[in-house]
Amino acid sequence: MIICGEPSGDLNASNLAKEILTLDPSAEISAVGGELLQKNGAKIIYNIKSLAVMGFFDVFRKLPLFFALKDLILKKISQEKFNAVILVDFSGFNLRLAKAINNSLPVFYYISPQVWASREKRVNTIKKYIKKMIVIFKFEEEFYKKFGMNVSFVGHPLLDSVKPTIEKGEFLNNFGLEESKKIIALLPGSRKSEIEHILPIMLKSAQMMSRQIKDLQFVLAKTSNVDLSVYLKHLKNVTPLNLKIAEGKAYDCINIADFCLIASGTATLETAIMQKPFFVIYKMNILNYLLYRPQIKIDHISLVNILAGKEIVPEFIQFKAKPKVIASKALQLLSSDIQMNLMKSELEHIKSLLGENGASKRAARIILQ
């Protein structure tokens, strides 16, 4: 049984399921997941479309849904003879589920909760109810070993999946973009609530930048999870930009860009892997921010800066996410080949810290062994 709760989890879980079935074609996988897990051979017992949440109040509203889902999973476990449960990210739900399973069968955790960043006491729950941690960052392996836990570092699965789907020239042609003019990619997140808070900041920043650089081109990476009307609503609030919208083509948008504005999250690592200079932007509901901020014990929120141990990509978070400042600093970077190349060099180093290709296969082998 594999349990994930978000699109990024569905991607990582699907690659893991594919490798498990490749190594052991007789295996049977049931899952709480999405389309990708289903395509890669898992029987979906619950689709995750309704599970995406952002912040405490969103979680609170969906508590009945989460309780019902936990009961469904526990019922399935009691009815069928599973050999193991694999939890993928989604820690708010998955750690509670692990506690409810209470070691009645082996529980593996793939894609660790970020306990090193906040609420470290969760390590006690992990140590008690998780048989094996399979982590994707080397520093996570060192962190868990300090607590005497069974942990293995397998590398980052994004190294296998981050690649454009079509040639750069074909993408430019399809969207009417010119290679001779600078292109900026906007990636405002994968959840509706994220996009509502972050896209307006990105668009205003883009508007200010386009006033300074003539013929600047923008491409907006639309997620298939969010309706187009959400994006168009915010586009109405800015003067016309030379902007194209590409759905389900995030890697292609990054690939053709000279520079990117990225919502904090998995996309920051994806952009680092593709070695494109970028800034990190994040904003959330003010009440959620005031609740969560005191829990964060690290200096940076972007995984790229956390891995570097310093700020190599500027972060514009909450009150600091001001379009005027973002636009000004972006223009400075774009006008300096030295700064652009320095950032690319730093991102190349970050990529080297993610291990080697084949993370999903290594994780599958550990679980089956």
**SS3 readout for 314-354:** CEEEHHHCCHHHHHHHHHHHHCCHHHHHHHHHHHHHHHHCC
pLDDT in tens, 167-185: 999 999 999 999 999 999 9
Residues 256 and 207 in one domain: yes
Query: Nearest 5°: phi and psi at 108?
Result: -105, 145
pLDDT in tens, 198-211: 999 999 999 999 99
Ranges assigned E (strand) in the chain: 2-3, 30-33, 43-47, 85-88, 107-110, 132-135, 151-153, 183-187, 217-222, 243-247, 259-263, 278-282, 315-317
Classify 365 as helix, strand or coil. helix
State the distance between the two ends of the chain, measured CA to CA, in whole angstroms.
Answer: 16
Residue range of the domain that includes 237: 168-352
Q: Where residue 311 sits, what CATH number does that domain have?
A: 3.40.50.2000
Q: Residue 357: its pLDDT value, please?
A: 95
Residues 347 and 262 in one domain: yes
Amino acid at 256: I
pTM: 0.84
State both tokens at 334. Answer: 């774009």
Is position 85 within any domain?
yes
Using CA atoms, how far residue 88 sits from 10, 154, 299, in Å, is: 8, 14, 26
Is position 161 within any domain?
no
Is position 331 within any domain?
yes
Is position 112 within any domain?
yes
Contact present, 58 and 25 (Cβ < 8 Å): no
Residues 78 and 13 in one domain: yes
Report how far residue 179's alpha carbon sits from residue 215's, in angstroms, rounded to the nearest whole number: 11
Percent of the chain's residues with pLDDT above 90: 79
DSSP output for 58-86: HHHHTHHHHHHHHHHHHHHHHHS--S-EE
Report how far residue 357's alpha carbon sits from residue 359's, in angstroms, rounded to the nearest whole number: 6
Using CA atoms, how far residue 253 sits from 168, 185, 192, 229, in Å, is: 9, 6, 19, 20
Residues 193 and 312 in one domain: yes
Which of the pair, 239 or 118, is modelled with greater confidence? 239
Using the predicted structure, report yes or no on whether residue 230 has a pLDDT greater than 70.
yes
Q: How confident is the model at residue 225 (pLDDT cuts 50, 70, 90)?
A: confident
Q: Residue 99: its pLDDT value, please?
A: 96
pLDDT in tens, 35-89: 999 999 999 999 998 776 555 556 667 788 889 999 999 999 999 989 999 999 9
List of residues 6+ apart from 166 with CB closer than 8 A: 174, 252
Q: Residue 57: its pLDDT value, please?
A: 53
Using the predicted structure, report yes or no on whether residue 123 has a pLDDT greater than 60.
yes
Classify 258 as helix, strand or coil. coil
Per-chain mean pLDDT for the chain: 92
Q: Residue 7: its pLDDT value, please?
A: 83
Residues 203 and 61 in one domain: no
pLDDT in tens, 271-315: 999 999 999 999 977 776 666 665 666 678 798 999 999 999 999
Is position 163 within any domain?
no
Amino acid at 140: E
Residues 161, 167, 172: CA angle, nearest 5 degrees: 120
Using CA atoms, how far residue 369 sits from 20, 87, 351, in Å, is: 11, 17, 29
Residues 143 and 177 in one domain: no
Residues 308 and 195 in one domain: yes
State both tokens at 11. Answer: 């991607």
Residues 11 and 34 in one domain: yes
Report how far residue 1's alpha carbon sits from residue 4's, in angstroms, rounded to the nearest whole number: 10
Residues 185 and 252 in one domain: yes
Residues 127 and 180 in one domain: no
pLDDT in tens, 131-166: 999 999 999 999 999 999 999 999 999 999 899 999
> Count of domains in the chain?
2
Strands 315-317 and 85-88: unpaired
Residues 270 and 127 in one domain: no
Rg of the chain over CA atoms, in angstroms? 21
List of residues 6+ apart from 349 with CB closer than 8 A: 308
Classify 369 as helix, strand or coil. coil
The residues that bridge with 247 in the sheet, in sequence order, are 222
Is position 335 within any domain?
yes
Q: Residue 190: its pLDDT value, please?
A: 85
Which of the pair, 232 or 266, is modelled with greater confidence? 232
Report how far residue 354's alpha carbon sits from residue 116's, in angstroms, rounded to the nearest whole number: 17
Residue 173 gets the label, from left (phi > 0), alpha (psi -120 to 50) or beta, of alpha
pLDDT in tens, 4-27: 998 889 989 999 999 999 999 999
Is position 72 within any domain?
yes
Report how far residue 253's alpha carbon sits from residue 119's, in angstroms, rounded to the nearest whole number: 35
Is position 162 within any domain?
no
Residues 200 and 312 in one domain: yes
Strand order in the sheet with 243-247: 243-247, 217-222, 183-187, 259-263, 278-282, 315-317
Q: How confident is the model at residue 34 (pLDDT cuts 50, 70, 90)?
A: very high
